[in-house]
Structure 1
Amino acid sequence: MIQHTAKLPQKGDRMIERSGPPDDAAVHEWIGPEAFGHWTKLRDWIDEFYPGVFVPDWLYGGKNRGWSLRYKKTRAFTTLVPEYRLLSALVVMGRAERERFEERRYVWRPQLVKLYDEAKTYVDGKWLTLGISSEDDLQDVVELLTMKRPPPPRQ
């Protein structure tokens, strides 16, 4: 998927081409091989630990927000945001999730606690956008998602 912009893309730019949701090849090209590795691991983890629970849904948020891949059942689970040479995951934490986070406050990595403390709290919860650029970042997202919604028992 080629971005039709007058300027070269900058790190963090969103995928804004409206012609249709990006496929894996376009995401790989846009976010780069390292971020795409995290993209694949996170999507595979969701598929493995939440089989049949979520049907990922591409959302187009306009020219400012671009494309994102949402995982939702009745409530949002996470939204993956492919940005130029970067991958982010959005996790909305409602009241119960914030209470569980606070109970484990000193177990989380300091970077995650700082991000949590600085995130704005809205009516529907605290919106955490986590950049995933390392295995530790990926593990933070997995642990947050597991805390938010424990995986169903394995058959």
Structure 2
Amino acid sequence: MKSRNRHDSQQEGVTGLRPAIGDRINDKSAPPDENTVRDWIGAKGFRHWVKLRSWIDTSYPGIFEPEWLYGGKKRGWTLRYKKTKAFCTLLPGYRLLSVQVVLGRAEREKFEERRYVWRPELVKLYDEARAYPDGKWLTVAVSSADDRRDVTALVSMKRPPQ
């Protein structure tokens, strides 16, 4: 039987049920470590997690200091990359890795200019995203290399790699 970490046990404790796909790590006692993230999002999701983090570190050396944020019981832990404004936030869900990217006015214009270059799945996500005063908040589920490329292209619009 696979070993379980404190976050699995904590999530199950209230209802006795296993977490649902996408549930967040919500044990607020401490930010999750890499082992906890791997166990929570699964091996495939963790490979994408590592590749995205590595891409950010390589493409933006010394610019971002990732910060774990606790958003409460429903939102759980997220890993935010930010300099002066938000770059992206990694959302480790149960068996699901997602990345949140906020596209401001300038990025939305760039997205629209390239509308027919983007994958249809991303355009649909963009079109369905609610617009807020600070921009469109896109939450992209990352389960393939194509999804990962979408995320890196979106954040590259916000800030070109060095």
TM-score, shorter chain, exceeding 0.5? yes
> Which residue pairs with 2:65 in the alignment?
55
SS at match of 1:32: helix
Q: Distance in 2 between matches of 1:71 and 1:35?
A: 19
TM-score using structure 1 length: 0.96
Indicate yes or no: 2:12 matched with 1:2: no
Structure 2 stretches of 5 or more lacking a match? none
1:1-54 CA deviation, whole Å, 9 max, x = no partner?
A: 423132211111100001110000000000000000000000000000100000
- Give secondary structure in 1 for the equivalent of 2:147: helix
Q: What are the equivalent positions in structure 2 for 1:21-60 lying under 5 Å apart? A: 21-60=31-70
1:76 aligns with 2:86: yes
- Would you say 1:142 and 2:146 are equivalent positions? no
Out of 76-85 and 140-149, give the one that drifted further: 140-149
Match of 1:108 among 99, 114, 118: 118
- Alpha carbon RMSD of aligned pairs, Å? 0.7
Equivalent-residue separation in structure 2 for 1:110 and 1:43 (angstroms) = 25
| TM-fit CA distance, 1:63 | 0.1
Count of aligned pairs between the two proteins: 152
Query: Normalising by structure 2, what TM-score?
Result: 0.92
**Residue number in structure 2 paired with 1:132:** 142
Aligned mate of 2:128, from 118, 121, 138: 118
1:92 aligns to what SS in structure 2?
strand
Identity of aligned residues (%): 63
Q: Distance in 2 between matches of 1:132 and 1:71?
A: 17
Supply the AA of the counterpart residue of 1:2.
Answer: R
Q: How many angstroms apart in 2 are the aligned matches of 1:56 and 1:111?
A: 28
Question: Which 4+ stretches in 1 moved above 6 angstroms?
Answer: none
What is the CA–CA distance in structure 2 between the aligned matches of 1:149 and 1:108, rounded to whole Å? 18
Ranges in structure 1 where 5+ consecutive residues have no aligned partner? none
Could you give the per-residue CA deviations for residues 40-97 of structure 1, whole angstroms, max 9, x where no partner exists?
0000000001000000000000000000000000010000000000100000000000
